[in-house]
Structure 1
Amino acid sequence: MSSYMANIKKLLVFLTCFLSGLGVLFSIASITTERWVYANNMIYYQIPDTMQKVKYGLFHGTLTTTVGTVMASVPLTMTCLAKENVCAYLCAESDEARYTLLKDIYHNKKEIEQPNCPRSSQDQERRTRVSSTFQTNTTDTSNKKYINCGIWVTTILFLVVSMLFGLISSGLSFYNTNINPIQVYLSIYGLFLYNAIALFSLIIAMMVWGVFYNLSIYHDVAIFDTLTGAMESDKTAYLGYSYWLNIAPLILYMMSIAVLFLRQYLISKDPGHKIVQRQDDGDPVIYLY
């Protein structure tokens, strides 16, 4: 193999390292930011002239309420009841209180008062005024749309698998820039596999969450006020930039695979790399010199 071709080969493998690593960084940004879903202009039934906005990621979010000139924000945390296969974004003074709150909502307990959530508002007077508005009653309804616990776990699982194999691909690509391992799982052929796993795992994660968004979250963002009938969020929710960030690693993993194919193609066209195999039809002969 010529020196020029050897340098091209090394450069393309290093490019694969960069592309896969960049894909992992985008996935990390996606999973750690709080904009997988956002909703504006939700209808709050109990108090007129009230505007509520919500945004959340896969773990945390924020609910912002504006009553006239008074604005307050409360942190939301994903809360799940695994046995019932339901999740919701709730706030409370403790983890135990959040789980108790979700159980009360799920079992249609009457007269549930909004928990004492930590709020961020401009001053103490506004905090008191806004706090007095956060009360509602549950409605015994069978059309509550919770976040499916299995869907949530599946989305996170495939995102983690995608990041893991993207990281493996990036590390092995760097390893292959200077070393030609004989083990298939460490070689260039392994890079094809690891990038493909990262790519298809990410596709599955996006499809699972995207389909569930259309079926459920688009109609109910699954927070305290919507689940208790105090607020209407139907057709106000959208997929945010945290979700769409995953388009970048999809493209990057596909580019990594394309670069690897290009490398294999260039090598196959290099005369110095051709291997001539000799086949003997006769009996094996031992030659003595």
Structure 2
Amino acid sequence: MNFYIMTLFPEMVMDGLNTSIIGRAVNKGLLSIEALNIRDYAFNKHHSVDDYPYGGGAGMLMQAEPVYQCYDALARQIRERKAGEEERAGEQPDMACGKKRTRVIYLSPQGKTFNQSMAEEFAQEEDLVFLCGHYEGIDERVLEEIVTDYVSIGDYVLTGGELPAMIMIDAISRLVPGVLHNDVSAEFESFQDNLLEYPQYSRPEVWHDKKVPEILMSGHHANIEKWRREQSVIRTAKNRPDLLEKAELTEKEKKLAKEIQRDGQPVTE
């Protein structure tokens, strides 16, 4: 999978993403991450990309042309790469690359809030482009021309889109086959089936007088899975009851969730 980040601070995103699990996946060729400096496409000797907004107001605005030129160069790069891959595969090169438009994600508080379902959707793409704004934002005209998706990571304002882009790339990368040592980890974790992850324990068996639940040492896998599912429902009801609206629960699980929300503890049978 190929990630491209259009930014004013390429070192910031690359330093963060070339470490840990994501960095290892890049080294293995499972991921490709490239940051393009929008300043390289400025049309003045000072490489400035901002100007005052029409109508007045505080702050500066990123201009349309440098952003567009950066995107245009990147789009050509992607088309040429795909044409080369098709040619090597013995297919007729499609330099127009009209099969499918590459998705361009603009990180903005105005976008839809990023979640695990969106991560799963984006993970199906071969290429993803992230556009990171700065200052007071980007000229609306270029956004209308190149952006396919507006995405937010929460209801707050940051100084730029670099951190949100890094968060999204991390979440999406985990879903690419081979990135995690244990691919099952990507399937059974928080937000799977709109439920939070169950509590987990490791050695030692007793720590600070707290013992690992007996069920987890029983070796009875069916009972363990049943316990874990129940704990996920309980934890979600306590901490994120809003997620339960989309979760597929049995009647027994719905009753358990209501007990947790009402009393704080399940009724034992």
TM-score bracket relative to the smaller structure: under 0.3
The structure with higher relative contact order (CA 8 Å, sep 6+) is 1
Which TM-score applies when normalising by structure 2? Answer: 0.25
Q: Which of the pair has more CA radius of gyration?
A: 1
Which TM-score applies when normalising by structure 1? Answer: 0.24
